[in-house]
Amino acid sequence: MPVNKSRQEICAKLPFSFPIGSVLWVRLDKMKRICGFFRLCRLERGRPARYERTRRPRSKNSLASKRRKHYNNGGFNPPLPTSHFFVTEGIILRTIEFSETSFILAIYTRDFGKLNVIAKGGRRLKGPFESSLDLLSRVNLSVIQKKSESLDILTESKLLWRFRPTRDNFAGLYAGYIVSELVNKFTEAGEPNLALYDLLRDTLVDFERGTLVMRSFLRFEWLFLELLGQRPELNFCVECGEDLTEISEKRLYFAPLDGGVVCFECRPGRSPIMLLSVAAREAIEQLTPDCESPPWERSLQGEIRGLTSAYYNHLYGQKIKIYDLLPSIARFDREPK
């Protein structure tokens, strides 16, 4: 029968010192490395009472189970959680002042479509954003994507190109505002479209030059409708399917609610109806991604402008207020020298 030893004798054999207390628990993994004990000991006055450690059942999908499995397979580091950090290029569509130091931004990116992010400290002069969060600027940005419905966090941005129209280029400035508003209203978050990003980037460069701004703006509107899948039908009647490209009439009837032109027989009972000349329809057909500046007359520009704005208002469901700047674009637009 072994004799119970005192607490001082037991503590003297341990290779480390500790204050003597009533109860002491030592973890098994530490005892393996320090003392060589293979069981946990509870030290009490007069005798050491030994107990087996009871463990609660652990889930197989827990982080500790994954780490043990990784170590047993010869791994050096435990697996880390999946990172939702990415770097991409984007154009700033909208800025909202959130607090004294932060911005909420709508950015159309090259790889991820439209993103709504918060830039904490974005209004400070000194910070990780380097004064690059201006409207319509093209930036290289770093974003932490949140799993929940909260806003993503913009951690860093570097300026690639800044939209800087000249002092007298009011047409390019107003057209840039309208284009950014259209892209923000008619695109959904998280739907990438590389062709739309390239179209937006090239259009802003044309606006910055300050010449033939209205032509570039109308070209963007119709190519944007094509990328959205909402381009109206101008060659065939949307009701009966009659071919209207070879008719002798000089004017067609455009029905925004029906998404295209209608023939004379299908016209009654439809409202609203807008008149569209054959010359304007042929000018719209010239709008392709390869056509940079179509040779239009100013009279055709006014007709196409009114038809296009009415169709966009119909798609949005209400009047787009920023379209009030269209007369200013036509007034300040100028021809190249």
Residue 91 tokens read as 């154009």
**Contact between residue 121 and residue 154 where contact means Cβ atoms under 8 Å apart:** no
Same domain, 204 and 322: yes
Same domain, 176 and 235: no
Same domain, 125 and 54: no
Total tally of structural domains belonging to the chain: 3
Same domain, 130 and 53: no
Q: What pLDDT is attached to residue 24?
A: 42
Please give, one letter per residue, the 3-state secondary structure of the chain: CCCCCCHHHHHHHCCCCCCCCCCCCCCHHHHHHHCCCCCCEEEECCEEEECCCCCCCCCCCCHHHHHHHHHHCCCCCCCCCCCCEEEEEEEEEEEEECCCCCEEEEEEECCCEEEEEEECCCCCCCCCCCCCCCCCCEEEEEEECCCCCCCEEEEEEEEEECCCCCCCCHHHHHHHHHHHHHHHHHCCECCCCHHHHHHHHHHHHHHHHCCCHHHHHHHHHHHHHHHHCCCCECCECCCCCCECCCCCCCEEEEECCCCEEECCCCCCCCCCCEEEEHHHHHHHHCCCCCCCCCCCCHHHHHHHHHHHHHHHHHHHCCCCHHHHHHHHHHHHCCCCC
Same domain, 215 and 264: yes
Does a structural domain hold residue 37?
A: yes
User: Which residue shows structure tokens 């455009």?
Assistant: 254
Its domain, for residue 267, covers: 195-332
Same domain, 160 and 135: yes
Question: Residue 323 maps to which CATH number?
Answer: 1.20.1440
Does a structural domain hold residue 66?
A: no
Same domain, 43 and 95: no
Q: What pLDDT is attached to residue 210?
A: 87
Does a structural domain hold residue 72?
A: no
Low-confidence ranges of the chain (pLDDT < 50): 1-3, 18-54, 70-71, 73-83
Same domain, 118 and 152: yes
For residue 53, what are the contacts with CB-CB under 8 A and spacing of at least 6?
28, 39, 40
Same domain, 169 and 217: no
Q: What pLDDT is attached to residue 202?
A: 94
Does a structural domain hold residue 179?
A: yes
Does a structural domain hold residue 78?
A: no
Question: Residue 128 maps to which CATH number?
Answer: 2.40.50.140
In sequence order, the β-bridge partners of residue 236 are: 243
Does a structural domain hold residue 76?
A: no
Same domain, 162 and 199: no
Does a structural domain hold residue 67?
A: no
